[in-house]
Chains A and B, each alone.
Chain A
Amino acid sequence: DTAVSQTPKYLVTQMGNDKSIKCEQNLGHDTMYWYKQDSKKFLKIMFSYNNKELIINETVPNRFSPKSPDKAHLNLHINSLELGDSAVYFCASRQMGGIAGYTFGSGTRLTVV
């Protein structure tokens, strides 16, 4: 039973298209995150939601828009995709204030051609 699941796992699309990535967690956590892993494997936070409220919004182009319909789901919509958006996007969740660490999904590899 997957704890943090992301769909799709792979996404290949052309420049200028709009795409969405979905994330769901069944851990009962109240906080979810989007991280971007670049070609050098560096992990950088993009957004975080706590109980559907946006609490972290890093310097990310406004072409990226997260949405959290409930605390178990966090989606990422990307408009007007650019070559530089190619990366692996990871969803993660945790219980705010808890001692346990973050649980990551298996990632979505986005390739913009």
Chain B
Amino acid sequence: QQQVKQSPQSLIVQKGGISIINCAYENTAFDYFPWYQQFPGKGPALLIAIRPDVSEKKEGRFTISFNKSAKQFSLHIMDSQPGDSATYFCAASKSASGSRLTFGEGTQLTVNP
């Protein structure tokens, strides 16, 4: 079963707009929630990550909002730029030894100039 569900599947935003991608997870043992950015022909690259002891983390134009009770987290990209056009993946894992990253289905973001 899909333990991390991501939406929307695709997103088109105008330059300067806010891009919002949402994820929901099922396993309450997850304690690490990263977002990855993937450009065509490249591997996923870590963008920003959060642990459940905080509700928000901001790095530049990228912010993760985390709602532990709802088991949801989201990525906000402020002032979206054409260079942000990529596929974004949310993921979740446990810190414990032997853990693996479980990915969401991915969101194809297109930022129009």
Interface residues of A (CB under 8 A from B): 4, 33, 40-45, 48, 50, 55-56, 90, 92, 96-97, 100-107
**Shortest distance from the beta carbon of A45 to any chain B beta carbon, whole Å:** 5
Which A residues are CB-close (under 8 A) to B106? 40-43
Q: Is the CB of B95 within 8 A of A101?
A: no
- B residues within 8 A CB of A92? 43, 101
| Chain A residues whose C-beta falls within 8 Å of the C-beta of B103 in the assembled complex | 42-44
Is B60 among interface residues, defined by CB-CB distance under 8 A? no
Most chain A CB within a 10 A radius of its CB, from B34, B43, B102? B43
Q: A41-B87, A42-B105 are in contact. Are A106 and B100 (CB under 8 A)?
A: no
Are A45 and B101 closer than 8 Å at their CB atoms?
yes
Q: How far is the CB of B32 from chain A (nearest CB, A)?
A: 8
Interface residue? B89 (CB, 8 A): yes
Q: Which residues of B contact A105 (CB under 8 A)?
A: 43
* Interfacial residues, chain B to chain A (CB-CB below 8 A): 34, 36, 38, 41-46, 49, 87, 89, 95, 97-98, 100-103, 105-106, 108
The prevalent SS among residues of A at the interface is: strand
- Complex alpha-carbon distance, A105 and B41, angstroms: 11
Question: How far, in whole Å, are A103 and B44 apart by their CA atoms in the complex?
Answer: 8
What 4 A-B pairs are tightest by C-beta distance, nearest first? A104-B43, A101-B46, A43-B103, A41-B106
A97 & B105 in contact (Cβ 8 Å cutoff)? no
**7 extra A-B contacts, CB within 8 A, seeds A40-B105, A107-B43:** A41-B108, A42-B103, A50-B98, A56-B98, A104-B43, A104-B45, A107-B41
Given A40-B105, A101-B34, A104-B43, check contact A45 B49 (CB 8 Å): no
